[in-house]
Amino acid sequence: MRTEVFRDAWGIPHLRAGSANELAYAQGHNAAVDRAWQLEVERHRAQGTSAAFLGAEALAWDRFARQARLADTARRCYEALDGETRDWVAAYVDGVNVGLGRGAANAPEFAEAGLAPGTWEPWTPLSLWLSTHILFAGFPTKLWRDEVARRLGDEAIELFAVDGPGTAGSNGWLVSAGRTSTGAPLIAGDPHRFIEDPGIYQQVHLVCPDYDVVGLAFPGVPGVAHFAHTGSVAWAITNAMADYQDLYRERLRRTADGVEALGPDGWRPAAHHTETVEVAGGDPVRVEVIETARGPVIIGEAPAGDGTAEAVSLRYVPRVTAELGFAATAELMRARTVADVDRAFERWVEPVNVVLAADTSGGLLHRTAGRVPLRHRDNRLRVVPAWEHGHEWQGMHEPMPRTEVADFAVMANERVLAGPLGVEFAPPHRADRIAGLLRASDRWSAAEMTTVHMDTHLASARPLLDLIAAPDGPAGLSPAASELRERLLAWDRRMDADSTAATAYAEVRHAVVRRIAVHPELACLREPLPYPDVFQPWLTLLVKVGYALEGLLATRLLPGIDRAEVVREALEEVAAHPARTRDAWGERHRLAPWRALPLDDEQWPGLAGDHDCVLATSSVPGITDHAARGPAARYVWDLRRREDSRWVVPLGARGIPGDPHHRDQLPLWLRGELVPVVTDFSGLSPEPTA
Per run of 10 residues, the mean pLDDT along the chain (length 690 residues) is 92 98 98 98 98 97 98 98 98 98 96 96 98 94 96 93 61 97 98 95 98 98 97 97 98 96 98 98 97 98 93 98 97 98 98 98 98 97 98 97 97 95 95 98 96 98 95 82 96 98 98 97 93 94 95 93 95 96 97 88 91 95 96 98 98 96 98 97 80
- Please give the model's pTM, rounded to 2 decimal places: 0.96
Q: What is the C-alpha to C-alpha distance for residues 27 and 95, in angstroms, rounded to an integer?
A: 7
**DSSP element (H, E) containing 142:** helix 140-152
Average pLDDT, the chain: 95
The DSSP bridge pattern shows strands 364-369 and 353-359 to be antiparallel
CA gap 409, 418 in Å, rounded: 14
Looking at residue 167, its pLDDT comes to 47
pLDDT of residue 472: 65
Residues in the chain: 690
Residue 514: partners with Cβ closer than 8 Å, 6 or more residues away = 542, 622
Candidates 18, 46, 15, 41; CA nearest to 29 is: 15
Q: Which ranges in 48-119 belong to alpha helices (H)? A: 51-54, 59-67, 70-79, 83-105, 108-113
SS3 at position 236: strand
Q: What is the pLDDT of residue 110?
A: 97
| Residue pair 437/455 in contact by the 8 Å Cβ criterion | yes
Q: Distance of CA 471 to CAs 40, 468, 476, Å?
A: 59, 9, 13
What's the pLDDT score for residue 371? 98
Domains annotated on the chain, with CATH: 140-166+455-630 (1.10.1400.10), 245-320 (2.30.120.10)
Instruction: Report which of 182, 494, 490 is spatially closest to residue 358, judged by C-alpha positions.
Output: 182
d(CA 497, CA 53): 38
Max CA-CA distance within the chain? 79
**Percent of the chain as helix, strand, coil, to the nearest 5:** 35, 20, 40
CA distance 218 to 646: 18
Percent of the chain whose predicted confidence (pLDDT) is above 70: 98
Counting beta carbons within 10 angstroms of the beta carbon of residue 255, is it exposed (0 to 12), middle (13 to 18) or buried (19 or more)?
A: exposed
CA distance 136 to 662: 27
- Determine the pLDDT at residue 1: 66
**Total Cβ atoms within 10 A of residue 154:** 12
Q: Looking at residue 590, what DSSP letter applies?
A: B
Q: How many CB atoms lie within 10 A of CB 65?
A: 27
3-state secondary structure of 44: helix
Q: At what angle do helices 124-133 and 83-105 cross, to 10 degrees?
A: 80
Question: How much is the pLDDT for 341?
Answer: 98
Q: Which of 546, 549, 540 is nearest to 467 (CA)?
A: 549
